[in-house]
Chain A
Amino acid sequence: MSTRTIEVGLRTPTVDPSGAVRLEPLGVQLPPHTPVQDDLGGEHMLVNIGPQHPATHGVLRLVVELDGETVVRVVPHIGYLHSGFEKLGEYRFYNQIIPLTDRTDYLSPMANNVCLALAAEKLMGIEITERCTVLRVIACEISRIISHLVWLGTTGIDLGAFTPFLWLFQQRERLYDLQEAWTGARLTTSLTRVGGLMADIPDGFEAGLLDFCRTFPKTLDEVDSMFTRNAIWCGRTQGVGVISGPDAINYSLSGPMLRASGVDYDVRKDRPYLGYETYDFDVPVGEHGDIYDRYRVRLEEMYQSNRILVQALDRLARLKGAPINVSDPRVILPPKHRAMSDMEAMIFHFKQVMEGVKAPVGEAYFGVENPKGELGYYFVSDGTAKPVRWRIRPPSFINLACLPKLCEGVLLSDVIAINASIDIVMGEIDR
């Protein structure tokens, strides 16, 4: 196992007055932005941004109180995409909830599917097969890369860099092709089932993914060379939107937002699931808690996800032909040809479709490390086939709640950068 964390602090070569080369930290000693003291001496202005605005990443509406160009206060208004998923879940069998999870965080549907299946399996006490575990790891890490690619591309556009967006979306398209070949859908994947998966990977998937893993880091390197030492990028992101480690914990932040503030916490390492403790990967942890560190953490996470994918593919090759579903006819539908020809299989099929899978009385919370942060599903069961309560712990909802704190005293243009750095997806926030 390699090191637990890696440094993301950067040094850049420069020369001191005597001409000797030395390494200087990049811009981190910038003084914190001091708000201009009532420069216009006039009344505060109220500016409404959104809900239909490209820089709010969905239907988020921000009401900003301005003193000149300095932000006094930001009030986010959400709920424009509220669909009542939690309520709908109470009227559905556990497997029928999986399509709802596609539509929450729609940038990482496969990871949501996996979390839901894991939560339901924890509630029912089901142990999944080894091949299924590896395939679910692959699904989670593909989702992480897709989500981070979208984040990096759109954040670049928000700050005026268009080219990396195209490079990144080209790579994202390759993953979407693989996802489509596996699940039949680009967005509404509904990949998992309680106790297994909807389908095994198709022919050529492993070769395609391996080809992606080999060539993808090259694009990341290009984006790295485009952004990481770019004066405009550093100027717009370093020292902006800072939140300290203790504050990040107090605001319940999770995922890259928490780790960029120097808190070394990743669910995959600290409450391992799907055998993540057996994979060799590092957790990048930032230092300054600003936008720049969030960028560095997410960029490094993509390299690490790539490492995990290569290891998972290696394991998958050794599990060729192994079952993906548990062999419990009360949970997993029998194959169609058996349901049509065998009496017993038909009864199991009928009972599952008509009555659903009953969960024992109890409750279970299962949290996974999603691209946006810790996604948790909390089921309460009264012994019937439909949950009494299905709670989503939405990482971007909780991360967005600290936006007013991050925007205190910044300039109006920084609000866009800070909002982008949180990596929100409104489908999950409004649910």
Chain B
Amino acid sequence: MSGADDGPVSPSVAGLRARFAGAVRRAVVSCGDTVVYLEPTRAHEVLAWLRDDPSQQFDYLMDITAVEYRDEERPLEVVWQLRSLSRRQDLRLKTELAKDAPLEVDSVYDLWKGADWLEREVFDMFGITFRGHPDLRRILMWETYGEGFPLRKSFPLRGHFNRAEQTRQALAANPEAHYSLEELSIAAAYAELPPEMAQRLARGQRGEVA
């Protein structure tokens, strides 16, 4: 069995290096796919160029996700999978976020509307904040979910709380909490909430382990 680390590097890498000398950390090939590692602060700028430059035309955002390795020393990675529909080319871009700093990266929602839910999911599952996302809420877990970020390696497979506690929390949840603040304001119900709950919702209670 072989196959890893072979194949030619995507021609886009040369263009990237020429245009953004400081922003490209390294480029590797794995199983025939080119992976380019970017400087976290400049990722948005590079992605915008890849989308708009006539020689690149990566107009289609296939996926956004994140990777955490079992090795605790290794940084978290945010992954963008780009595709050029006209040139039939793929490119995978990554940026590494050190775990001792805030996990933040610029949102690409302004470039691709498709990033909306994908970034929300990465936030929900890994706790990575996308700066500039208009509506960064949890998406698969509920808004008041308090056990943390499920896809982090520090999150045990069975969850932080035991089954009895999970059941207790589920039964104790106020159904009103399943509406977002915006929705409640439309229904003019926000003003009628108990003050304690209004405060709790306003704080967001996003993924803090109790």
Which residues of A line the B interface, CB within 8 A?
Answer: 43-44, 46, 63, 65, 75, 77-79, 82, 84, 86-88, 91, 122-126, 247, 249-253, 263, 265, 270-271, 328, 330-331, 359-365, 367, 374, 376, 378, 380, 382, 388-389, 391, 393, 397-398, 400-402, 405, 430-431
Contact = CB atoms under 8 A, between A and B. Distances in A.
Interface of B: 1-5, 30-33, 35, 59-63, 65, 67-71, 79, 81, 85, 88, 90, 92, 112-118, 121, 125, 139-142, 150-151, 155, 157, 178-180, 182-183, 186-188
Contact of B30 (A82, A249, A362): A362
A388 B71 CA distance: 10
25 contacts: A43-B188, A46-B183, A46-B187, A63-B179, A79-B139, A79-B140, A79-B142, A87-B150, A91-B157, A123-B3, A125-B3, A250-B112, A252-B61, A252-B112, A360-B1, A362-B30, A363-B31, A363-B33, A364-B33, A365-B33, A365-B81, A382-B70, A393-B81, A402-B113, A431-B140
Contact of A271 (B63, B68, B88): B88
A415 to B, nearest CB: 16
Given A87-B150, A378-B63, A361 B4 contact: yes
Contact of A391 (B59, B63, B114, B155): B63
A186 B172 CA distance: 38
A364 B31 contact: yes
B113 A405 contact: yes
A115 B12 CA distance: 27
Contacts of B68: 388-389
A87 B88 contact: no
A77 B85 contact: no
Contact of B1 (A124, A271, A391): A124
A75 B183 contact: yes
B173 to A, nearest CB: 13
Contacts of A388: 67-70
A364 B30 contact: yes
A419 to B, nearest CB: 15
Given A78-B139, A79-B139, A405-B113, 16 more contacts: A75-B180, A77-B178, A79-B141, A82-B140, A84-B150, A87-B155, A122-B31, A249-B85, A252-B112, A363-B30, A365-B63, A378-B81, A388-B70, A389-B65, A397-B121, A431-B140
Contacts of B59: 249
B85 A251 contact: no
A331 B2 CA distance: 13
A271 to B, nearest CB: 7
Contacts of A389: 65, 67-68
Nearest to A46: B187
Contact of B4 (A125, A247, A250, A265): A125
